[in-house]
């Protein structure tokens, strides 16, 4: 069986999280809202309606571009792309075909590989159709939600890399603050072009395009599947058809979509209803300066404090990184562990992310744990209470006190408790066993001390005192 | 256009206008008569006047609205079948401004469907007849509006001018018609034909009325990002000393009547002491071809939204989704709409874009530059609006290219965004009105209107 | 340029018209003469000339990102369509 090199290029649509739509002043966030409740006469494409450009979308695009290390084109404008479909009320999409706002750049993967961005442009999203047995319904809520479409160069050469690129792109956009990044709700959608060529060949093969993938896993699996499918065909000496295919998460397969008899002719035309955009250097720089810390900058910042694996997990949660950045360096490692071990295991982690404890709360918690005022178990316990609506306003110490979690570090007090335990006839046998050399029994005795202290004793101190006493 | 005073009430003015509209019913001027609405508004204005309340600058003045302006009175149909059922929930900015000054719309006027035409014969509701000769066309596309003013039914009427649709019917009916500088009056709520050349303007009986209407309706609109910052009221009319005439218009193409009218006007100007400057503008002869590339492209695009799905006519011959589009559009559009849409899709289609659309946009640059050069030599340009006077009904309607040739002198300024004002220039031996147009540099609208006052 | 039946069919398709054979013929004839007319632009030299898409000197016209009430409500808009269900526009099934 011959070997093939796979080449992948990805187009990604990112819904921008501006307050209003790209061309009218209606709510841009239709999640959980009734059909057609976020629709202006402009979106509905009544006769005589003209687009009213949202300036914020321009600013978001500048930030998004900078987050991908892209040039921002000082001169850009909008174009019309024509096609008839009920999800497109105007009969055309307003996009940027000839002069996009975002020029060339790249996304750097965690392993340092750079995937080049060809360009990215602003455009309006389409509406949504729901199909029933013999009719369809049209909801225009999503019409002209601002999108940027990011077009990569064919620099990707494995399914894993495709996955990593999508994820890194997602992080870049989320950290730039230009999208909610909610994949479940279609905030980012990927069209993946896949072609195979014999290894060493300098020509690309015929590509298949898998449209509308909405998770990193789907991207990865679709690329894997296509590699298998196409290499089998090539092995048999068959040709790959240039076509659009759909992906099913359920079957794990791509299937050809209804192929159009002829190539679409979109008849692009400069949009005459919108004046051109000419951005001064100053304007671009001012917007670029508003770009928040990027994933790459966080990696730099924490690379010697947080283990690489942990860091890559935490990087999926922008609020966590922002919180860690607020802390003193010595608390970062402990808090990042708390985040990883506790928060991410919780089912409601998404909601929790919206109400993270303050830096002061966390710092105090770290200090108390360090001073052994709190055991590591108690520390987690207090941490969890930071998310309890009744407790979240309280300090770490107040919570620890309220829950009786403060460790008994007073050695004389502890000694008294140990004495009490040793005087208890119920521990007699254990004491003898230990003296006879049965090491394990010490655990039982420490447990008794803990019980007697109602859990407040510092177990290692308790063990130390027990050993001393039993030696005598 | 003096306002309802103590001697005449708004109600009386509206009643008179409605009576005249009915009297001239055979001219087929109106697609909708706003009887109830107009009388109601008139009564309200009369009451306010009686109570000594403040009323607008156009209080009680009856006017006619071209059928492509969105307003809540009647259906806004653009004289087409595909929009015949369309009742607008929106009011166009220009209409709002007129209504705010208490003007009273008495009816919507007939036009070439979607303003595609130069005779108003392409209306779904049949042609409008010329005010001076019922066997002849009203001109177009704003034919109904022109005739409504010429027959003195209303004081003024609105129009749109994409390639001459105000100036030419004004000329055919012997009244004033202004196409302002591109971007002067908001296009919001006016059914788009070609976005980069569409202009909103008016028909009036005097230049003074035109000045008042401009002062009321001009101005930047947040709903139309292509409107210019307010300039009309701030601008000063420039004193005209030099009048340009263009040599390049083919003498054979211009009818003897219009050559004569121009000649007489030029002689008169000379006598009045104006300097006449002959201009050479060789690119103008391509303007019509440029126009019939760019404008159909924008038409094809702008008319994509009429699909039978969200509003307007939906064909009964629906079998599947595809047929909603194809049948509704096929049955809802007139032949001329289809021609222009198909030409537009041709010049934009893959393989032809560069040779037609892009080339035309480059030629447009050359035309603009020639005007810029011309206005270094003169203050205004005087030309006929069209090569012929009003032609006979049916004479050209089946020959699209001969119909397009009627636009040869009106379209160049639309491509350049310049203002043009039709002024009456007497009556020919045939008894038909003739008109000429004054053209100025961008934002010289006030100069043109002022010059028209001088020429009266 | 020759406007063959096939080209007319293609343009009708791009325009979404279901033309009858008769209409195709007569429109085809008209289009041919129009295209012949506009093709005279061939002879004009436009080398090194920049295109002009819009005839005003404005740029960067945009609005603030604030939600404001619209001139027509959802109910008014949907009422304009021929059929509705569940606050949506009802159309024949999309295949």
Q: What is the pLDDT of residue B2?
A: 55
Cis peptide before B141 (omega within 30 of 0): yes
C60 inside 8 A of chain A by CB? yes
Half-sphere exposure of B234 (CA within 13 A, CB side): 7
Residue of C nearest to A129 (CA): C94
Q: Tell me, what's the pLDDT at A377? A: 85
Measure CB to CB from residue C91 to each of A56, A136, A277 and give the nearest one.
A136
What burial letters (b/e) apply to A416-436, b meaning 16+ CB within 10 Å?
ebbeebbeeeebeebbebbee
Same domain for A202 and A84: yes
Which residues 42-101 of B are in CB contact (within 8 Å) with C?
A: 86-87, 89-91
Tell me: the pLDDT tens digits for A313-341? 899 999 999 999 999 988 999 999 888 87
pLDDT for res B5: 53
**In the complex, which subunits touch A with 3 or more CB pairs below 8 angstroms?**
B, C
Cα angle A424, A425, A427 (rounded to 5 degrees) comes to: 75
CB contact under 8 A, B226 and C12: no
For residue B105, the cross-strand partners are B63
A19, A122: one domain:
yes
Work out the angle between the directed axes of helices C21-38 and C5-15 (0-180°, nearest 10): 100
What is each CA distance from A288 to A64, A292, A415, B250, B451, in whole angstroms?
9, 9, 62, 57, 52
- List, for residues A127-152, the tens digit of each pLDDT value: 999 999 889 999 999 999 999 999 99
pLDDT digit string, tens, across residues A339-350: 887 777 766 667
From A362, A383, A402, the end of a domain falls on A402
pTM above 0.90, yes or no: yes
Residue B361 and residue C52 in contact, taking contact as beta carbons nearer than 8 Å: yes
Same domain, A229 and A325: no
Find, among A314, A458, A461, the residue nearest to A378 by Cα.
A458
CA distance A126 to A308: 40
Residues 6+ apart with CB under 8 A from C25: none
Q: Is the pLDDT of residue C2 over 70?
A: no
For the record, the structure tokens of B188 come out as: 């919001």
- Judge whether A454 lies within some domain: yes
Strands, E, within B34-111: which ranges?
Answer: 62-66, 104-109
Active site positions of B, annotated:
66, 141, 165
Structure tokens at B53: 């309340």
A55 plus A187 within the same structural domain: yes
Residue A82 lies in domain: 4-282
C75 interfaces chain A, CB cutoff of 8 Å: no
User: Is C91 close to A58, i.e. CB distance below 8 A?
Assistant: no
Find out whether B202 and B159 touch, Cβ atoms under 8 Å.
yes
By C-alpha distance, the chain A residue nearest B187 is A48
Span A236-258, mean pLDDT? 91
CA atoms of B108 and B103, how far apart (whole Å): 14
B133-192 pLDDT, tens digit per residue, is: 999 999 999 999 999 999 999 999 999 999 999 999 999 999 999 999 999 999 999 999
Q: Chain A contact for B200, CB < 8 A?
A: no
Count: domains in chain A = 3
Residue B348 and residue A268: Cβ atoms within 8 Å?
A: yes
pLDDT value at A18 more than 60:
yes
Judged by a CB distance cut-off of 8 A, whether residue B318 touches chain C is yes
- pLDDT at residue number C40: 96
Q: Residue A369 domain-assigned?
A: yes
Instruction: Give the one of A41, A91, A92 whose C-beta lies nearest to B90's C-beta.
Output: A41
Cβ–Cβ of C54/B226 closer than 8 Å?
A: yes
Distance between CA atoms of residues B363 and B370, nearest Å: 11
CA torsion through residues C61, C67, C69, C73, sign: positive
Gap between the Cα atoms of A27 and A305, Å rounded: 42
For chain A, say whether C27 makes contact (Cβ under 8 Å): no
Give, in words, the CATH class of B10-217. Answer: alpha beta
Check if A41 contacts C (Cβ < 8 Å): yes
- Taking alpha carbons only, the member of B123, B205, B213, B117 closest to residue B168 is B117
Question: Which of A358, A382, A402 delimits the end of a domain?
Answer: A402
Other residues' Cβ atoms within 10 Å of the Cβ of residue B450: 18
Does some domain include residue A322? yes
Structure-token match 């005022």, residue found = A373
Inter-chain contact B225–C76, Cβ cutoff 8 Å? no
pLDDT digits (tens, 9 = 90+) for B78-125: 999 999 999 999 999 999 999 999 999 999 999 999 999 999 999 999
Is residue A239 domain-shared with residue A133, that is, in the same domain?
yes
pLDDT of residue B200: 98
3-state secondary structure chain A: CCCEEEEEEEEEEEECCCCECCCCCCECCCCCCCCCCCCCCCCCCCCCCCCCCEHHHHHHHHHHHHHCCCCECCEECCEEEECCCCCCCCCEEEECCCCCCECCEEEECCCCCEEEEEEEEEEECCCEEEECCCEEEEECCCCCCEEEEEEECCCECCHHHHHHHHHHHHHHHHHHCCCCCCCCCCCEEEEEEEEEEECCCCCCCCEEEEEEECCHHHHHHHHHHHHHHHHHHHHCCCCCCCEEEEEECCCCEEEECCCCCCCCCCCCEECCCCCCEECCHHHHHHHHHCCCCCHHHHHHHHCCCCCHHHHHHHCCCHHHHHHHHHCCHHHHHHHHHHHHHCHHHCCCHHHHHCCCCCHHHHHHHHHHHHCCCCCHHHHHHHHHHCCCCCCCCCCHHHHHHHCCCCCECCHHHHHHHHHHHHHCHHHHHHHHHHHCCCCCHHHHHHHHHHHHCCCCECHHHHHHHHHHHHHC
**Within 13 Å of residue B159, how many CA atoms lie on the same side as its CB?**
38
Alpha-carbon distance A10 to nearest alpha carbon in chain C (angstroms): 27
Contacts of A276 in chain C (CB under 8 A): 54, 59
Q: How does the average pLDDT of chain A come out, rounded?
A: 92
* All structural domains of chain C: 5-43 (1.10.20)
pLDDT, position A261: 47
Q: What is the pLDDT of residue A347?
A: 67
In this structure, what are the phi and psi dihedrals at residue A94, rounded to the nearest 5 degrees?
A: -85, 120
In the prediction, which pLDDT does C3 show? 65
Q: Which of B414, B415, B298 is nearest to B345 (CA)?
A: B298
The beta-carbon neighbor of B226 closest among A91, A268, A273 is A273
pLDDT tier, B251 (very low <50, low <70, confident <90, very high otherwise): low
Q: What is the mean pLDDT of residues B306-330?
A: 93
Scan for tokens 């303003």, then name that residue: B115
The pLDDT score that the predictor gives to residue B443 is: 97
Q: Is the pLDDT of residue A223 over 60?
A: yes
CB pairs under 8 A between A and B: 100
User: Same structural domain for residues A370 and A420?
Assistant: no
Residue C80, SS3 per DSSP: coil
Q: Is B71's Cβ below 8 Å from some Cβ in A?
A: no
pLDDT at B247: 87
Say if the Cβ atoms of C81 and B341 lie within 8 Å.
Answer: no
Are A428 and A389 found together in one domain?
no
Mean pLDDT across A406-412 = 75
User: In this prediction, what percent of chain A has a pLDDT beyond 90?
Assistant: 70
A25/C67 touch (CB, cutoff 8 Å), yes or no: yes
CA distance C77 to chain A (A): 7
A121 and A169 part of one domain: yes
For helices A159-176 and A295-302, angle between their N-to-C axes, nearest 10 degrees: 100
Q: Are A328 and A364 part of one and the same domain?
A: yes
Q: How much is the mean pLDDT over chain B?
A: 96
Residue A287 within a domain: no
All residues of chain B having their beta carbon less than 8 Å from the beta carbon of residue C92 are: 318-321, 323-324
Spatial distance between the Cα atoms of B307 and B327, rounded to a whole number of angstroms = 9
CB contact under 8 A, A135 and C92: yes
Which tens digits make up the pLDDT trace of A113-126? Answer: 999 999 999 999 99
Is the pLDDT at B365 greater than 80? The verdict is yes
Q: Which chains touch C (3 or more CB pairs under 8 A)?
A: A, B
Average pLDDT over residues A220-233: 96
User: Which of A52, A91, A269 has the CB atom closest to B297's CB atom?
Assistant: A269
Neighbours of A137 (CB within 10 A): 21
d(CA A201, CA B375): 62
Whether A352 and A370 share a structural domain: yes
Cβ contacts of B69 on chain A, cutoff 8 Å: 48
A269: which chain B residues are within 8 Å (Cβ-Cβ)? Answer: 297-298, 301, 348, 357
- Give the pLDDT confidence of B405-449 residue by residue, as tens digits: 999 999 999 999 999 999 999 999 999 999 999 999 999 999 999
Least-confidence region, from A163-172, A200-209, B174-183, B372-381: A200-209
DSSP reduced 3-state for C68: coil
Q: Mean per-residue pLDDT for A178-185?
A: 94
Are B188 and A272 in contact (CB < 8 Å)? no
Chain B residues with CB-CB distance to C17 below 8 A: 326, 329-330, 333, 338, 341-342
What integer pLDDT is reported at residue B4 of this predicted model?
44
Q: Please judge whether B191 and A272 are an interchain contact, meaning their C-beta atoms are less than 8 angstroms apart.
A: no
Classify residue B126 by its DSSP letter. -
Q: What is the mean pLDDT of residues B294-302?
A: 98
Give the whole-angstrom CA distance, residue B428 versus residue B406.
Answer: 18
pLDDT the model gives residue A300: 94
A80 to B301: CB separation less than 8 angstroms, yes or no = yes
Q: Do A37 and C74 touch (CB under 8 A)?
A: yes
Considering only CA atoms, which of B192, B152, B200, B149 is closest in space to residue B170?
B149
- A450-458: long-range pairs with CB below 8 Å, 24+: A452/A417, A452/A420, A452/A421, A453/A408, A453/A414, A453/A417, A454/A404, A455/A404, A455/A405, A456/A404, A456/A405, A456/A406, A456/A407, A456/A408, A457/A407, A457/A408, A457/A414, A457/A417, A458/A372, A458/A375, A458/A407, A458/A408, A458/A409, A458/A414
**Do residues A26 and A142 both lie within one domain?**
yes
B197 part of contact set with chain C, CB < 8 Å: yes
| Alpha-carbon distance B348 to nearest alpha carbon in chain A (angstroms) | 5
What is the average per-residue pLDDT within A267-279? Answer: 98
**C-beta atoms surrounding A441 within 10 Å:** 19
Residue A96 sits in the same domain as residue A195 = yes
Model confidence at A373, pLDDT cuts 50, 70, 90, reads confident
Nearest by CB to C30, from B290, B359, B400: name it.
B400
Supply the pLDDT for residue A158: 96
The residues, any chain, with a CB within 8 Å of residue B31's CB and separated by 6 or more, are: B67, B74, B77, B79, B107, B108, B109, B110, B123, B125, B144
SS3 content of chain C, % helix, strand, coil (to 5): 40, 10, 50
Chain A interface residues (partner B, CB cutoff 8 A): 41, 44-53, 80, 82, 84, 86, 89-92, 136, 138, 265, 267-269, 272-275
Overall size of chain A counted in residues: 472
Would an 8 Å CB–CB cutoff place B333 in contact with chain C? yes
Tokens read off for A188 = 């980012």
Residue carrying structure tokens 């709002």: B96
A2 pLDDT higher than 70 = no
On the 0-12 / 13-18 / 19+ scale of CB atoms within 10 A, C83 is middle
| Model confidence at B252: pLDDT above 70 | no
Number of separate helices (H) and strands (E) present in chain C: 3, 2
Burial B48-82 (b: 16+ CB within 10 A, else e): bbeeeeebbbbbbbbbbbbbbbbbebbbbbbbbbb
* Facing A137 at nearest CB: one of C63, C64, C85: C85
Kindly write down the DSSP assignment for every residue of B397-421, as one continuous string: TT-HHHHHHTTTTTHHHHHHT--EE
Which residue out of A21, A28, A55, A79 would a mutagenesis test of the C interface target, given it has the greatest number of C Cβ atoms within 10 Å?
A55
Structure confidence at residue A440 (pLDDT): 87
For residue A453, the domain's CATH number is 1.10.10.410
């Amino acid at each position: 069986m011959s070997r093939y090199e796979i080449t992948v290029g990805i187009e990604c649509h990112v819904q921008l999280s501006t307050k209003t739509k790209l061309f009218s002043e209606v709510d841009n966030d239709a999640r959980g809202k009734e059909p057609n409740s976020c629709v202006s006469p402009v979106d509905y494409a009544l006769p005589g309606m003209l687009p009213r450009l949202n300036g914020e979308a321009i600013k978001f695009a500048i930030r998004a571009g900078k987050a991908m290390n892209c040039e921002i084109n000082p001169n850009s404008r909008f174009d019309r792309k024509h096609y008839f479909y009920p999800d497109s009320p105007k009969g055309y999409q307003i996009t940027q075909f000839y002069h996009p706002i975002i020029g060339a750049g790249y996304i750097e993967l965690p392993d340092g590989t750079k995937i080049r961005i060809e360009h990215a442009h602003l455009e309006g999203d389409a509406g949504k159709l729901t199909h029933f047995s013999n009719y369809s319904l049209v909801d225009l809520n999503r019409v002209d939600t601002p999108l940027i479409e990011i077009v990569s160069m064919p620099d990707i050469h494995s399914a894993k890399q495709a996955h990593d690129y999508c994820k890194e792109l997602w992080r870049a956009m989320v950290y730039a603050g230009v999208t909610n990044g909610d994949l479940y709700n279609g905030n980012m959608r990927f069209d993946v072009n896949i072609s195979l060529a014999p290894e060493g060949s300098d020509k690309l093969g015929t590509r298949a395009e898998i449209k509308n993938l909405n998770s990193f896993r789907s991207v990865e699996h679709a690329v894997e599947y296509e590699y298998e499918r196409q290499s089998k065909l090539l092995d048999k000496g068959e040709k790959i058809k240039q076509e659009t295919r759909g992906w099913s998460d359920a079957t794990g397969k791509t299937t050809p979509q209804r192929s159009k008899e002829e190539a679409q002719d979109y008849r692009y035309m400069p949009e005459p209803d919108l004046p051109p955009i000419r951005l001064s250097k100053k304007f671009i720089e001012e917007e670029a300066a508003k770009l928040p810390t990027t994933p790459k900058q966080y990696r730099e910042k924490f690379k010697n404090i947080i283990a690489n694996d942990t860091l890559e997990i935490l990087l999926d949660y922008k609020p966590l990184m922002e919180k860690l950045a607020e802390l003193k360096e010595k608390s970062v490692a402990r808090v990042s562990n708390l985040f990883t071990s506790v928060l991410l295991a919780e089912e409601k982690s998404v909601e929790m992310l919206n109400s993270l404890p303050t830096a002061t709360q966390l710092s105090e918690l770290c200090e108390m744990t360090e001073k052994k005022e709190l055991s590591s178990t108690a520390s987690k316990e207090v941490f969890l209470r930071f998310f309890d609506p009744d407790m979240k306003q309280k300090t770490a110490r107040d919570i620890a006190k309220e829950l009786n979690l403060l460790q008994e570090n007073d050695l004389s007090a502890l000694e008294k408790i140990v004495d009490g335990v040793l005087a208890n006839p119920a521990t007699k046998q254990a004491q003898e066993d230990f003296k006879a050399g049965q090491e394990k029994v010490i655990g039982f005795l420490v447990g008794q001390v803990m019980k007697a202290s109602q859990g407040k004793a510092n177990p290692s101190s308790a063990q130390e005192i027990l050993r001393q006493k039993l030696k005598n | 256009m003096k306002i309802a005073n103590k001697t005449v009430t708004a109600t009386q003015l509206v009643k008179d206008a409605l009576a005249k509209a009915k009297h001239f019913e055979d001219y087929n001027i109106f697609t909708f008569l706003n009887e109830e609405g107009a009388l109601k508004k008139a009564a309200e204005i009369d009451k306010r006047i009686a109570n000594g309340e403040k009323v607008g600058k156009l209080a009680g003045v009856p006017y006619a609205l071209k059928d492509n302006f969105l307003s809540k009175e009647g259906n806004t149909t653009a004289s087409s079948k595909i929009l015949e059922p369309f009742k607008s929930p929106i009011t166009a900015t220009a209409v709002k401004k007129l209504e705010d000054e208490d003007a009273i719309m008495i009816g919507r006027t007939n036009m070439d469907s979607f303003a595609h035409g130069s005779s108003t014969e392409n209306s779904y509701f049949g042609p409008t007849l010329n005010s001076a000769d019922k066997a002849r066309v009203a001109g177009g596309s704003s034919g109904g509006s022109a005739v409504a003013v010429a027959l003195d039914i209303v004081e003024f009427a609105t129009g749109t001018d994409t390639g001459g649709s105000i100036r030419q019917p004004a000329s055919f009916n012997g009244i004033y018609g202004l196409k302002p500088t591109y971007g002067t009056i908001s296009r919001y709520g006016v059914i788009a034909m070609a976005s980069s050349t569409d202009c909103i303007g008016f028909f009036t009986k005097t230049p003074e009325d035109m000045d008042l209407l401009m002062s009321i309706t001009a101005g930047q609109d947040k709903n139309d990002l292509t409107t210019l910052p307010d300039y009309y009221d701030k601008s000063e009319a420039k004193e005209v000393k030099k009048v340009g005439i263009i040599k390049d218009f083919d003498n054979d193409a211009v009818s003897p009547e219009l050559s004569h009218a121009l000649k007489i006007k030029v002689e008169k100007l000379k006598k009045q002491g104006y300097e006449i400057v002959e201009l050479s503008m060789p690119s103008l002869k391509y303007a019509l071809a440029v126009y019939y590339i760019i404008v159909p492209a924008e038409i094809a695009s702008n008319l994509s939204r009429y699909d039978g799905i969200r509003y307007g006519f939906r064909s009964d011959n629906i079998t599947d989704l595809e047929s909603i589009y194809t049948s509704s559009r096929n049955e809802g559009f007139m032949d001329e709409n289809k021609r222009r849409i198909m030409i537009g899709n041709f010049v934009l289609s893959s393989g032809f874009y560069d040779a037609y659309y892009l080339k035309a946009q480059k030629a447009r640059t050359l035309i603009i530059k020639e005007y810029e050069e011309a206005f270094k030599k003169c203050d205004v340009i005087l030309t006929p609006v069209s090569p012929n006077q009003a032609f006979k009904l049916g004479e050209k309607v089946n020959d699209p290219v001969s119909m397009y040739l009627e636009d040869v002198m009106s379209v160049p300024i639309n491509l350049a965004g310049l203002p043009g004002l039709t002024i009456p220039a007497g009556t020919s031996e045939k008894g038909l009105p003739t008109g000429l147009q004054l053209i100025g540099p961008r934002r010289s609208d006030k100069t043109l209107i002022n010059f028209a006052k001088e020429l009266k | 340029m020759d406007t063959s039946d096939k080209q007319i069919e293609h343009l009708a398709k791009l325009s979404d018209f279901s033309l009858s054979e008769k209409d195709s013929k007569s429109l085809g004839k008209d289009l041919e003469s129009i295209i012949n007319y506009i093709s005279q632009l061939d002879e004009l030299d436009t080398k090194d000339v920049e295109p002009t898409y819009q005839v005003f000197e404005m740029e960067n016209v945009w609005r603030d990102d604030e939600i404001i009430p619209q001139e027509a409500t959802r109910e008014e808009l949907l009422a304009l369509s021929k059929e509705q269900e569940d606050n949506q526009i009802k159309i024949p099934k999309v295949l």
